[in-house]
Homo-oligomer: A and B are copies of this chain.
Amino acid sequence: PSEFISNAKDVMFQLKKLGKDDPRRVIHSLKVALAITLVSAFYYVNPLYNSFGSSAMWAVFTVIVVSEFSVGATLGKGLNRGFATFLAGAMGLGSYYMVDSITTGHIVEPMLLGTLIFLTTAGVTYFRFLPQIKARYDYGLLVFILTFCMVSVSSYRDREILDIALKRVTTILTGGLISIAVSILVYPVWAGGDLHNVESKNIEILGNFLEGFGGEYFGRLEGRESNKSSLQAYKSVLNSKQVEENLANFARWEPCHGPFKFRHPWQQYIKIGNLSRQCAYRIDALNGFLNSTKTPLEMRSKVQEPCMRMGTESGKALKELAVAIHKMVPPSGADPHIAKSKIAATNLRSIIKAGLWEDTTLLEVIPVLTVASLLVDVVSCTERLAESIQE
């Protein structure tokens, strides 16, 4: 039991932390609860219940399934669900009337309906594997299968099928509208804004690493431990692809909000994300050298000056880019830093040409330089993209 208590404490602590990290999570929970309470009016208010009956269930159902964290996700699911229900309902009714008009045999009719259902389900399920469909319409196709099967199957038993279908579509639409309204009107969470922030945050993290890297590698050993762990923040950037793509998919559903128009070029963010990940892979390689302490410090000191400069300047440039993305201004603030880091790279080359190296193995020092020069490339690359997004 004491173990149970400590586990429970642990979970409580984590729950608290989740709320502190992002208070919107708490708000989201309350929003969902609000939407459901609103929709249960279908049951509690007599005139509403009298006209919809147990179809009211579908409104509750829709609200619960459709309410997602961001506006984009909610809109996407809601629209998918709405269109798919409508289309599948119509097609299900159509196929029922078609089969019914051909035959009324109590063995032939279910067999025909069954064959139709089999073929439709197999086809649509297969269709869901298409990547571009999966990204945006997966949920819609699932609902399509669902509604189509339910309507055409239950039409075999329920003779008032048209009436039921109409009620259901109405309640589902109402449920969808309620969740979308709550999602947009009460403290909205915009996937587009999130994507925007994630992107600029990631670039800032990379910039922080580069700024700190020089000091770490060339030896101020005193405060080492604490600083090193703060540099590891860049690791979250390595695997950010999935998150960004999800956000971009959601963002496409969103109407204009704040500084973003309806057809904001979200695809550009994916490109920027790819470039910053390329940068992060290089940083991961750099990070590997932080941990190898083979190279003596006096060796390192020979190239310290230009390397430090390259690190801090490209770091500053990245941070300027992050600010530029964040404020949506042209990234001209980064230009002087990029220029300085290029000069440092040239200095470095001439130091090496001067040949201070004959006496030692330089295997361990050089990589730092080269990766740093690589980073300058990446920075200029990111710059190009940041400019292109301002168009």
Contacts and interface: CB of A to CB of B under 8 A. Distances in A.
Interface string A358-383: 10011110110111011001000000
Chain A: number of interface residues, binned into ranges: 35 or more
B367 A370 contact: yes
A145 B122 CA distance: 30
A355 B239 CA distance: 41
Interface string A325-364: 0000000000000000000000011001101011001111
A162 interface: no
A14 B128 CA distance: 12
Q: Which of A61, A122, A242, A278 has the most CB of B within 10 A?
A: A122
A157 B370 contact: no
A149 B40 contact: yes
B285 A37 contact: no
A54 interface: yes
A130 B11 contact: yes
B371 A157 contact: no
Interface string A1-42: 000000000010011001100000110111011101100100
A212 interface: no
Contact of A123 (B29, B43, B361, B366): B29
Given A37-B118, A117-B36, A153-B40, A363 B369 contact: yes
A125 B26 CA distance: 9
A369 B357 CA distance: 17
Contact of A371 (B14, B44, B130, B285): B285
Nearest to A366: B366
A281 interface: yes
A367 B371 contact: yes
Contact of A44 (B114, B129, B377): B114
B361 A358 contact: no
A75 to B, nearest CB: 19
Interface in A116-133: 117-119, 121-123, 125-127, 129-130
A257 interface: no
B29 A149 contact: no
A149 B60 contact: yes
Interface string A80-116: 0000000000000000000000000000001001100
A288 interface: yes
Nearest to A49: B157
Interface of A: 11, 14-15, 18-19, 25-26, 28-30, 32-34, 36-37, 40, 43-44, 49, 54, 56-57, 60-61, 64-65, 110, 113-114, 117-119, 121-123, 125-127, 129-130, 142, 145-146, 149-150, 153-154, 156-158, 238-239, 241-242, 277-278, 281-282, 284-285, 288, 348-349, 352-353, 355, 357-358, 361-364, 366-367, 369-371, 373-374, 377
